[in-house]
Structure 1
Amino acid sequence: MKAVIQRANHASVTVKDKVVGQVDHGFVVLLGVTLTDTMEDAKYLVNKIVHLRVFEDENEKMNLSLKDVGGSILSISQFTLYGDTRKGRRPNFLQAAKPDAANELYEQFNQLLVDEGINVETGEFGAMMQVQLTNDGPVTLIIDSQEK
């Protein structure tokens, strides 16, 4: 699993002109699932994400986690994170998990976040979505469970 994490002051996701998820303080997480991912990959990412110390403390140092600040997550499924652009001009997505498997792990990932006490808003799996955010910092990190 691969996650692009962006610290956000506000973020929302729209499907067919309707806002389906939004957060005011926390992370936007774009989550890609590959062919070999398991529940262990989801657990690894959730643990990393909720404990990342990237929010500022009273001394303006990045020293607080999402849990410390009571932040939320806008979780967006993003199969294009596994787009391979090494050959030609059109990416191939052969390493992205098939939709049923990807959706199952995406849902499990979100449930693990909820189990950690995190408020989670989502997009709509497989839909064309418009994501808007105010990236705070900007702080953007990439975590790949295959690189643990």
Structure 2
Amino acid sequence: MKFSKKVKIAAILSETEVIINAGSLDGIQIGQTFYIIDTEGRIIKDPDTDSILGKFEGYKGKLIVKKTEDRFSYCETPTYYKSLAVESTLASSRALLNSLDTISGTEQDKLNIVKEDILDLNSIYTDTQVMVGDSLEYISN
């Protein structure tokens, strides 16, 4: 999909929420998914010579558009289902002592961010410098 501009992170709200520099006027729609491009990748160096042996391409994270405005959009990291196994301790039945029950809930991916870049929207005061952010790559609707 082609957008009217290069889509980038404009502000970081938390470990799970960002604002991007494109909105509904640019073709952004709720539910669209983007990868955060890692332009440096993971560089592999020789431990003896420190020379670069190669580079693994990758992404810094994944974002889903949750709300659009005309010129910007709110995005979040994916939320996924998580299942935890908990040992049952029913003393009345020896056979059940080693059984496992499942406790379910949801957990959200967290981005590896610089904490100082978090923009607190609950405060009326801002002390942030706007910096050119990471570019995004469109995945799907």
Name whichever structure is richer in helix by fraction: 1
Query: Which structure's relative contact order is higher, taking Cα pairs within 8 Å and 6+ residues apart?
Result: 1
Q: Max radius of gyration: which structure?
A: 2
Task: Indicate whether the TM-score tops 0.5.
Answer: no
TM-score w.r.t. structure 2 length? 0.33
TM-score w.r.t. structure 1 length? 0.32
